[in-house]
Amino acid sequence: MRLLRILPLLWPVLVASAVPAQAQVERVAIRTTGISCGTCAFVSEIYLRQLDGIDAIRISLSTEAILVTYKPGAIFRPQELRDALKKTDVGVLEFQVIARGRMQELGGHRFFVAGRDRFALIAASDAPQLPAGAPILIEAMLDDRTDPMQLKVMTVKSMSP
């Protein structure tokens, strides 16, 4: 009897958890050092594929870059990417992300929230304006060495809710 009272309350939670999150980091371009041979690329891809949430990986030897695409609802963990690549002596110079989410202002600071990921926004004179609360798609440079991680937004595209 008690379960029958609780079940209607849990239904929205169950439905929400079954639907992939719309807001998330979708793709990450990684500029690297040390991934200039086929063997390095092959072994790096093996380690990257072991990470949760990875959907696709493309590696360019000529530009020493990696493009990682995430599955819907995946959590972005840049340190895991760094650790996986470090196993093959590949260094990460820079992360560039494409993410869906919303800009929020909290305590006088601006954040970009993409699913379960939250990033502080770097104020820059050349940065595009981000509408507060509206769903957007951004392309940004990531500084994952700060807490919280920081984004320098390069492009913004409004998304329909």
CATH at residue 34: 3.30.70.100
The domain in which residue 105 lies consists of 98-158
Tokens standing for 55?
């959907």
> Does the predicted TM-score (pTM) go above 0.95?
no
Q: Where are the beta strands (DSSP E) in the chain?
A: 24-33, 54-60, 65-70, 91-106, 109-114, 117-121, 136-143, 150-158
Let me know if residue 10 belongs to a domain.
no
In a domain, 8, yes or no: no
Q: Are residues 152 and 102 in the same domain?
A: yes
Q: Kindly give the confidence (pLDDT) of every residue in the chain, 161 residues in length, as a single tens digit, with 9 standing for 90 and above.
A: 443 344 344 433 333 333 334 689 999 999 999 998 899 999 999 999 999 999 999 999 999 999 999 999 999 999 999 999 999 999 999 999 999 999 999 888 999 999 989 999 998 777 788 888 899 999 999 999 999 999 999 999 998 76
Q: How many C-beta neighbours within 10 Å does residue 39 have?
A: 8
In a domain, 60, yes or no: yes
